[in-house]
Amino acid sequence: MQLVPVSSKKDRKEFIGFPVRLYKDEQHWIRPIDIDIEDVFDPAKNKSFRTGDCQRWLLKSNNEVIGRIAAFILEKKSDQEKELSSGIGFFECINDQQAADMLFNTGKQWLEERSATYMDGPINFGRRDRWWGLLTKGFDLEPNYQCNYHFPYYQKLFENYGFKTYFEQYTFVKVIKEPVHPRLVYKSEMVAKDPDYKVTHFKMNEFDRFAKDIIEVYNKAWVNHEGVSTISLEQGKAIMKRLKSVMVEELIWLAYYKDEPAAIFVNIPEVNQVLKYVNGKLNLLGKLKFLWYKSRIKRRKVLGIIFGVSPEHQGKGVDGAIIVAFADEANQNHPQYETIEMHGIGDFNRKMILVVKQVGGDIRKVHTTFRYLFDRTQPFERMKSI
């Protein structure tokens, strides 16, 4: 077996193409969009390169790719953070422990040379809501857009090497027509009695205003959580504009207090239901395929992508107000959507788990983030609850 750093156009093509061969008989796997993967490793597209670096490798046997991996390191963001952020991702491998160990050792050595003390994985070189965590439950479900899908044997490859669970992220799946928790209904009714609160859905003809309000609440609600960075107005609008072609305004809800944004619940029709037909390509032909299938495929799944309440409005019932408003609208006017998936809920975020449990549904997918400490005598601790 031979490890080859990815450096040429051919290497990059093989890095993208290896999973296509590996998962060719797996009916639930959906090929990621090629450019989405390439953008992670493009300094012009990924701002993580401003304070970090990455490297990726191919593992070959008899000149055939049998594995791949990338390693990432980011400088600390503040004086309070004592360590670098470091880890590996985009790991794919045949069911062979020796091959997996070679890939893990390569990432470990590269990180140690850059003063890292641990290796998390599989992670992304950037935001935690993309390509993060090893799928350890939910192999019978298709992956959502920019979410990892893996073979069940990957867990043993990680654990046999010495990785331990650092935290888990849950995906809750709920049948939309099932009633929401009575406590959320009570909260909604309580908010309705306060004339200072107003609940409304997104309106495309006021796109910039609503996008700005969503970004404002997101930053207030999530900025103090580990691994979550502030989004600038410019970055947020760019993200929203990318979603614009798949957005349904009645699936996005906001609560206002005296005309100031207080809470958000952002949902979109899950796009992998359509993207699976473009075979990873969003060139001209791929875009035409996307538009054709989008107009003809009955999309049954909604993806909950952002939920947040500004700190000053937490505990006042606005979470229930926007959830009930979404459920009422979906059931009355959009019955084609049968289920909602709320993903990326960390096991360390007890408050958010409580809210999602009130929304309803079951944990159908789990993505596990593992950690490997380079000092094997150091006691291991899971991520602290918030």
- Asked if the structure places residue 215 within a domain, the reply is yes
For residues 164 and 289, membership in a common domain is answered with: no
- How far apart, in Å, are the Cα atoms of 384 and each of 165, 342, 346, 350, 356? 12, 22, 11, 11, 20
- Asked if the structure places residue 380 within a domain, the reply is no
- Asked if the structure places residue 359 within a domain, the reply is no
For residues 165 and 182, membership in a common domain is answered with: no
Count of structural domains within the chain: 2
Choosing from 169, 196, 216, the residue where a domain stops is: 169
Residue 237: band (very low, low, confident or very high) from pLDDT cuts 50, 70, 90: confident
pTM for this one? 0.89
Distance between terminal CA atoms of the chain? 43
User: What confidence score (pLDDT) does residue 80 get?
Assistant: 46
- Asked if the structure places residue 357 within a domain, the reply is no
| CA atoms lying within 13 Å on the CB side of residue 203 | 5
For residues 205 and 295, membership in a common domain is answered with: yes
For residues 164 and 181, membership in a common domain is answered with: no
For residues 77 and 127, membership in a common domain is answered with: yes
Choosing from 128, 150, 169, the residue where a domain stops is: 169
For residues 16 and 160, membership in a common domain is answered with: yes
For residues 235 and 321, membership in a common domain is answered with: yes
Q: Give the pLDDT confidence of 322-333 residue by residue, as tens digits.
A: 999 999 999 999
Task: Name beta bridge partners: 120.
Answer: 87, 371
For residues 162 and 254, membership in a common domain is answered with: no
For residues 131 and 197, membership in a common domain is answered with: no
For residues 58 and 98, membership in a common domain is answered with: yes
For residues 161 and 239, membership in a common domain is answered with: no
Q: What is the mean pLDDT of residues 102-106?
A: 98
- Asked if the structure places residue 360 within a domain, the reply is no
Q: What is the mean pLDDT of residues 205-229?
A: 82
Of 70-84, 152-166, 277-291, which one has max mean pLDDT? 152-166
- Averaged confidence pLDDT in the chain: 91
Does residue 226 carry a pLDDT above 70? no
User: What confidence score (pLDDT) does residue 359 get?
Assistant: 80
- CATH number of the domain residue 242 falls in: 3.40.630.30
- How far apart, in Å, are the Cα atoms of 184 and each of 31, 248, 310, 319, 356? 38, 23, 18, 8, 11
Q: Give the pLDDT confidence of 53-69 residue by residue, as tens digits.
A: 999 999 999 999 999 99
User: What confidence score (pLDDT) does residue 90 get?
Assistant: 98
Q: Give the pLDDT confidence of 148-177 residue by residue, as tens digits.
A: 999 999 999 999 999 999 999 999 999 999
User: What confidence score (pLDDT) does residue 187 get?
Assistant: 94
- Asked if the structure places residue 147 within a domain, the reply is yes
User: What confidence score (pLDDT) does residue 76 get?
Assistant: 61
- Asked if the structure places residue 276 within a domain, the reply is yes
Structural domain of 312: 177-337
- Asked if the structure places residue 40 within a domain, the reply is yes
What is the rounded CA–CA span in Å between residue 357 and residue 361? 7
